[in-house]
Amino acid sequence: MTVGDTLIAPQASVNPAISIRNVTQRFAPAGGADGVLALDNVSLDIAPGEFVCLLGPSGCGKSTLLNIVGGLFKPSSGEVTVAGRRVDGAPHPDEIAFVFQESTLFPWYTIIENFRIALKFQGAPKSERDDRAMEALQAVGMAGFARHYPSQLSIGMRQRVNLARGICVRTNILLMVEPFAALDEQSRMVLGEDLSILLAKTGKTIVFVTHSLAEAVFLSDRIVVMTARPGRIKTIVNVNEPHPRAPDFMLEPRFGEMRNDLFALLRDEIRQAMALQRDPLKVRA
């Protein structure tokens, strides 16, 4: 598989889990000028059970896109449908769970209380909450820490728990914003492997934002490469490797090739993004 197999048009899926249609996002600035165009006419279909990664330079709008899909932002135009329901700036906690970049476990609650709260917010029946929480904790190997406060755990352990909190609400869709960014490289590889195994079992649809090329190749079925601001889909790369993936996959020559191809695709965009940082008003036509 090389870059030649890329698909630019949205994949025509019969019943997509997530359907993004012509989404544009413009952030109004304080002055009243035109504002910043963060996303420009993005369309994408994601099939049920698919693991899709959004990859791009900083500020390309990939996190914005994820927030729009999750209903945290309302797009300036375009629409997103999840399981046939239109997402319009309102979260659908029964369908979609978020795992955020920062460990967003509430520091004032113990781990188990954090899970109970998430399940309570979602509307899960009270009798089920503890069982579901423990089940998710067991899945990430953290059942022994249910009564700890987040501050008593290491960053890696917190991130595991954070992931489990996203799983315990049993949504079909999981949105992850750089969940491993705070970890060192070894930990993120181990956690990535665990994630691959875990998710192969649950069959969830996952959309994932990352900066790490290796992580993107190792975890995704499809990698959506985005341009520097305004964010557009530059290309989509398929990774044909069944889940769960073993660490051996990283040793295969095609793994390295794909990573290099991705870097070649991204390099110009990263330079463009850096230029934008130096001169934020310069927007490519």
Partner 1 sequence: MSVMDTSEGVFMGMPRARAVALTRWAIVATAALALELYGRFFADPAFMQPVSAILRAWIDPVLSDARIIRALMDAVVEIAVAYALSIICGATIGIAIGVSNFARKSFLPIVLLLYAIPQVTLMPLFILIFGLGAAGKIAFGFSHGVFPVIVNVVAGMRNMNPLYLRAVQSMGGTRFDTLRHVIFPNMVPAFFVGLRLSMTLTLLGVILAELYVSTGGIGYFTRLFAENFNPAPLFALIGSLATIAILFNSLVRVAERRLTPGARAPGKLNLSGAKSR
Partner 2 sequence: MSAGFAQRAIQLAFLILAGGAWYALTQARVVSPLFLPPPQAVYATLTRLLATPQFWSAVQVTLTTIAKAYGIAIVSGVFVGYLITRSRFWTDVLEPVIAGLFTIPITLFFPLFILFFGIGPASKVAYGATYGFFPIALNTIAGLAHADERYLRAARSMGASGFDTFRHVLLPGALPVLLTGLRVGFFICFASVLGGEALSSIAGVGRNIALSAELMESARMYAWIAFVICTAVTLNFLMTFIENRAASYEAAER
Residues near partner 2 (CB under 8 A): 70-72, 91-94, 96-98, 100, 102, 104, 106-109, 117-118, 120-123, 149, 151-152, 169
Q: How far is the CB of 184 from partner 2 (least distance, A)?
A: 19
Token pair 């130096």 in the structure block, residue = 278
Q: Can you tell me which of 5, 9, 28, 202 binds partner 1, judged by CB under 8 A?
A: 28
CB of 184 to partner 1, least distance (A): 19
Residue 2 binds: one of partner 2, partner 1, none (C-beta under 5 to 8 A by kind)? none
Burial class (CB in 10 A: 0-12, 13-18, 19+), 42: buried
Burial of 140 (0-12, 13-18, 19+ CB in 10 A): buried
H or E segment and range at residue 177: strand 173-177
Choice between 124 and 195, CB closer to partner 2: 124
Q: Does 30 bind partner 1 (CB under 8 A)?
A: yes
The entry of partner 2, partner 1, none that residue 28 binds, CB within 5 to 8 Å by partner kind:
partner 1
Please count the residues of the chain: 285
- Buried/exposed 43-56: b ≥16 CB within 10 Å, e otherwise: ebbbbebbbbbbbb
Per partner kind, with CB cut-offs from 5 to 8 A, the member of partner 2, partner 1, none near residue 122 is partner 2
Residues 196 and 243: beta-carbon distance below 8 Å: yes
Residue linked to tokens 């181990």: 190
- Which entry of partner 2, partner 1, none binds 30, CB below 5 to 8 A by partner kind? partner 1
Q: How far is the CB of 97 from partner 2 (least distance, A)?
A: 8
CB atoms within 10 A of CB 238: 15
Partners of 175 in the β-ladder? 98, 207
- 151 sits near partner 1 (criterion: CB under 8 A): no
Short-list 70, 54, 110, 34, CA closest to 231 = 54
Beta carbon nearer to partner 1, 28 or 155: 28
Q: Is 29 in the site for partner 1 (CB under 8 A)?
A: yes
Nearest to residue 75, comparing CAs of 84, 66, 226, 174?
A: 66
Q: Whose Cβ is closer to partner 2: residue 102's or residue 252's?
A: 102
Minimum distance from CB of 29 to partner 1 (Å)?
Answer: 7
Task: Tell the smallest beta-carbon distance from residue 252 to partner 2 (Å).
Answer: 36
3-state secondary structure at position 88: coil
Nearer to partner 1, 29 or 203 (CB): 29
**Residue numbers at the binding site for partner 1 (CB under 8 A):** 28-32
